[in-house]
Amino acid sequence: MSTSVVADTSALIGRSLKHILRSPDTIITTAVMPIAIMLLFVYVFGGAIQTGTASYVDYLLPGILLITIASGVAYTSYRLFLDLQGGIVERFQSMPIARSSVLWSHVLTSLVANLVSLAIVVGAALLMGFRSGADVFAWLGVTGILVLFTLALTWLAVIAGLAAKSVDGASAFSYPLIFLPFLSSAFVPTDTMPGPVRWFAENQPVTPIVNSIRALLAGTPVGGELWIALGWCTGILIVAAMIATRLYNRRLR
């Protein structure tokens, strides 16, 4: 980014963060649902699920973190849709502001808000007994994967916000993303699933991402799944960003 783009994006991020600070329930609401799911599975279903780990919350947490992100990015789509409908984006275009800074401000605001939500969920997991054998570098690896995953899903949210015809439509895109971890290794090992479901679970992006985060948190070797996870996140990010940018430019012609 050029200096002007960085300055414009920073100013618009400040605007978006002020909206979030005036409505902190956005972050709280984003974290509440994943925590509720974690409580349900650990204390209600956990005793009946065999994962081969000493603590089910240790096994479960990576999937819950991805659900947190999928839930949080819906607000990006919602806020972008409201900006477009309210005419503020067109007003920005009449000012000496870099065009790309509008989208980047929403994306980076989403990243900040989701990192806060993830910290809240990890704090809840610690209270529930989560413990990690990860060193500093492993935690940095986990953070890097979560940041990349957040950026990838956020650009998908930007596409939804640009293409939506209603507020409900802008937010509804996240429902399949929230459901996807349930059809992965996030809650149970994939080898316990019936054939077709197992094939889907082992060949969709969430499973290698969850397995990589789980291995890093446990302090065990990650293996080749890390590269598959990074490939999925990077590919989704690049394709979604290209489509979103094209839709944005076409809408503002």
Write down the pLDDT at residue 187: 92
Region 51-62 average pLDDT: 84
Helix, strand, coil: what percent of the chain each, to 5?
80, 0, 20
Q: What is the pLDDT of residues 118-165, one digit of tens each?
A: 999 999 999 999 998 889 999 999 999 999 999 999 999 999 888 888
Band the pLDDT of 1: cuts 50, 70, 90. Answer: very low
Q: Where are the domains of the chain?
A: 3-251
CA distance 188 to 161: 33
Write down the pLDDT at residue 95: 63
Q: When comparing pLDDT for 101 and 53, which is higher?
A: 101
Q: What is the pLDDT of residues 69-100, one digit of tens each?
A: 998 888 888 888 877 776 666 666 666 666 66
- 201 neighbors 185 (Cβ within 8 angstroms): yes
Angle made by CA atoms 195, 178, 28, in degrees to the nearest 5: 150
Question: 152-183 as b/e, with b when 16 or more CB fall inside 10 Å?
Answer: bbbbbbbbbbbbbeeeeebbebbeebbebbeb
Q: Which two tokens stand for residue 45?
A: 């279903």
Q: What is the pLDDT of residues 203-241, one digit of tens each?
A: 999 999 999 999 999 988 898 999 999 999 999 999 999
Band the pLDDT of 25: cuts 50, 70, 90. Answer: low
The pTM score is 0.89
Dihedral angle of Cα 68, 141, 149, 120, to the nearest 10 degrees: 20
| Owner of token pair 């000493």 | 54
Nearest-CA neighbor of 179 among 200, 160, 158?
200
Q: When comparing pLDDT for 4 and 118, which is higher?
A: 118
